[in-house]
Structure 1
């Protein structure tokens, strides 16, 4: 089974300081056809104006992953972590039994553009924790670079769910393949550029739900950056 999720069909929020597109139902946007895909519950594409951001707020029992595309994302939380993230940085915060945090544009001059991803953990009420790692462009070019996994293998950040997230940057003529257990599902989200996934053409912001298929082939790329989620 394959189902396309087109960029222009995503939910939208316009708050002046924030422009956001919601792949799945979130906040005031609700679509019963798009409430998540397995444990993958949120992919928000956020653009935050200079000096603005999300004030301190709380989360529980959620794996929250930020993938920065442009600008500087400033993070502070109730477990004592403070950091400024840039392109190539991946942040994982396990909310567990409860955490409060804020996210602001760390620049007074330039917007910040990032994806925020929520994955439902398979263990509840764990101690909150934080991790961040940098994945440079070279490590993602022409390959599927593991950036998040249950066991933190290959230098990825660790998430509390039997899921893996891969990032890739593909230029014209490049092709990658991913073997998928037919009992699992996958979600491919094109961040920017164009690519074909199992013969389905996708552009920036588009995505493809995949299940009951044993191989994913991504090719016909043009300046593409994308994420592949391998999910239970």
Structure 2
């Protein structure tokens, strides 16, 4: 097993006033040649957008874009005609494919919205753009893995991604132990701690720490406190 540890305060940071964003991997003005991606996982941004603010209409192509609200509401509109609001407990995916334009705005005039935006390279380019959004019952992730993203080709639950990738959320009670088994042992898995402290594959992790693991078929987790965790299993080629 090989491990790559990213401490929370080692991430890139951008402060645009209305937007505060931490970048686990190189993004915009933050560049670290040692942190450009983890396999097919290209971007992991931890965003805080002030009330009434957001990202105006802008283009994307050939990327699978996943948004996970942590608090607040995010209004989405795109060139495919989708106009939606995503909230805590929901997961959104947009396959940019041959090209789309979209906007992301804080839907509240009084409260900030906090969300993760994650980019994954697709299995092939020039796909037809698509959109999906689903709500997930948080109770179904207590001390068990809740699949929220899975491959288009699979029958697993979750929004569908054009990649051999699975995202799972899990909330662990203090002292609880759990083992994550990779769907594809040739994949790697990147752990991102949303809240709490745990030991993962012998590594001590705290809130907003990240850990990439390869050359293993399973990962042992042990919560040191109550923990909220996101696991992203992706191809490494």
The match for 2:161 is 159
Runs of 4+ in 1 over 6 A off after TM superposition: none
Give me the CA root mean square deviation.
Answer: 1.1
* Structure 2 counterpart of 1:107: 108
Q: Deviations over 1:108-166 (max 9, x none)?
A: 00000000000000121111110000112101111111111113533211000111111
Determine whether 1:210 maps to 2:213.
yes
The residue aligned with 1:190 is 193
Gaps of 5+ in 1: none
Residue in structure 1 matched with residue 92 of structure 2 by the alignment: 91
CA distance in 1, matches of 2:86, 2:196: 23
Q: Give the whole-Å Cα distance in 1 for the aligned partners of 2:30 and 2:106.
A: 24
Q: Which residue of 2 aligns with 1:150?
A: 151
User: What does residue range 49-88 of structure 1 map to in structure 2 within 5 Å?
Assistant: 49-88=50-89
For normalisation by structure 2, the TM-score amounts to 0.95
Deviates more, 1:129-138 or 1:182-191: 182-191
- Alpha-carbon displacement from aligned partner over 1:158-181 (angstroms, at most 9, x marks no partner): 000111111111121222211235
Unpaired segments ≥5 residues, structure 2: none
- Residue 18 of structure 1 corresponds to which residue in structure 2? 19
How far apart, in 2, do the equivalents of 1:185 and 1:43 lie? 15
Note the C-alpha offset of 1:214.
Answer: 2.5
TM-score of the two chains, using structure 1 as the length reference: 0.97
Confirm or deny: 8 A CA contact 1:144 1:176 kept in the other structure: no
Contact persistence 2:189–2:232 (CA under 8 A): yes
222, 226, 230: which one aligns with 1:227: 230
User: Which of 146-155 and 127-136 deviates more?
Assistant: 146-155
Bigger Cα displacement from structure 2, 177-186 vs 220-229? 177-186
Distance 2:76 2:219 in 1: 35
Contact residue 170 and residue 221 of structure 1 kept, 8 A = no
* Residue 23 of structure 1, CA deviation: 0.3
Alpha-carbon distance between aligned partners in 2 of 1:2 and 1:90, rounded to the nearest angstrom:
27
Q: Counterpart of 2:170?
A: 168
Q: Give secondary structure in 2 for the equivalent of 1:138.
A: helix
Q: Which residue of 1 aligns with 2:4?
A: 3
- The aligned residue for residue 117 of structure 2 is 116
